[in-house]
């Protein structure tokens, strides 16, 4: 069997395996609030053992990645520990690498190709859990960033109606639209009720969600409280500032769109256009006898 065909079959098989695992993880994480994804519950012992064995060593070798995993787990609000992600890295790398090795060896009967495919897909399986956590954190932060101006407006309206800041936040938690930002405000409200000061609770929330605009909001609220200024006026200004930043970010992304479209255009659209234009010309030339002229 041709080597290119074998490589394509192996790639597609492992790709569908990864897509299937990703779909299961995403579905479980979306439907079960506070529950660990299915793969962590099914292979709990294996992932836990691998995490304890290899996790500390991996954190020592890749300290920057270890910090990123911890921050992303907090931002994504996943009920997981960094060692569990390390264990999943080892587990996914071993399973996907072994499956790709076996499939390549069965199709090609060549040990070298099988080892190469196994190593390549093992590396992909090892890197996938980290990228999955980072993507979950980015998606959650994006949702909170989009809903933040509306949430601040609700708090501002409640304060202008006569409520204090705590009552306005409680009103948002009880009556506001569902989403991660409302959940984070709920955690902050419970911390205040348990004795933590409002400033400390807001700063802890800023550390959890890791959004620059919310850090700026907390700083402004703290300064307004210390200076005796109107918090509702500060919140209104911050809401407008967040909207302005969102519009600027959208404009920058729109400006990048043409350059991002160059590669897919060159790879997919231009060859198809060339084929559509050139093939009829070549066929007509061959039918008219010009093909015999070029064969001479």
Angle, vertex CA 262, rays to CA 256 and CA 266, nearest 5 = 170
Q: Is the pLDDT confidence value at 158 over 90?
A: no
Helix or strand holding residue 242 (H, E): helix 231-260
Which tokens is 62 given? 């890749």
pLDDT in tens, 118-141: 889 899 989 999 999 999 999 999
Q: How many CB atoms lie within 10 A of CB 209?
A: 21
Q: What are the boundaries of each domain within the chain?
A: 3-139, 143-255
> Which pTM does this prediction carry?
0.71
pLDDT in tens, 187-245: 999 998 888 888 889 899 999 998 888 888 888 888 887 787 778 788 888 888 888 88
In degrees and rounded to multiples of 5, residue 145 shows phi and psi of -65, -40
Residue 133's pLDDT is 93
What distance in Å separates the CA atoms of residue 194 and residue 251, rounded to the nearest whole number? 43
């Amino acid at each position: 069997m041709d080597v290119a065909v074998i490589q394509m079959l192996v790639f597609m098989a492992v790709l569908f395996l990864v897509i299937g695992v990703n779909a299961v993880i995403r579905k479980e994480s979306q439907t079960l609030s506070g529950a660990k994804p299915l793969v962590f519950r099914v292979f709990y012992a294996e992932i836990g053992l691998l995490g304890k064995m290899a996790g500390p060593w991996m954190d020592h070798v890749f300290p920057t990645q270890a910090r990123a995993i911890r921050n992303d787990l907090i931002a994504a609000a996943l009920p997981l520990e960094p060692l569990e992600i390390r264990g999943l890295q080892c587990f996914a790398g071993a399973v996907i690498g072994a499956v790709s090795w076996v499939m390549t060896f069965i199709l090609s009967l060549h040990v070298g190709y099988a080892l190469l495919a196994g190593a390549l897909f093992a590396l992909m399986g090892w890197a996938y859990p980290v990228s999955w956590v980072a993507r979950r954190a980015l998606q959650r932060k994006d949702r909170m960033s989009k809903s933040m101006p509306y949430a601040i407006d609700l708090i501002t309206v409640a304060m202008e109606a006569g409520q204090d800041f705590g009552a306005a936040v409680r009103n948002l938690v009880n009556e506001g639209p569902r989403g991660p930002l409302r959940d984070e405000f709920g955690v902050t409200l419970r911390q205040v009720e348990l004795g933590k000061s409002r400033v400390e609770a807001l700063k802890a929330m800023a550390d959890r969600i890791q959004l620059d605009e919310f850090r700026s909001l907390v700083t402004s609220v703290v300064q307004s409280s210390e200076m005796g200024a109107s918090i509702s006026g500060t919140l209104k200004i911050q809401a407008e500032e967040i909207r302005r930043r969102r519009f600027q970010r959208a404009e920058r992304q729109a400006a990048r769109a043409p350059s991002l479209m160059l590669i897919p255009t060159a790879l997919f659209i231009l060859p198809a256009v060339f084929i559509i234009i050139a093939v009829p010309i070549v066929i007509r030339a061959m039918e008219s006898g010009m093909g015999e002229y070029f064969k001479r």
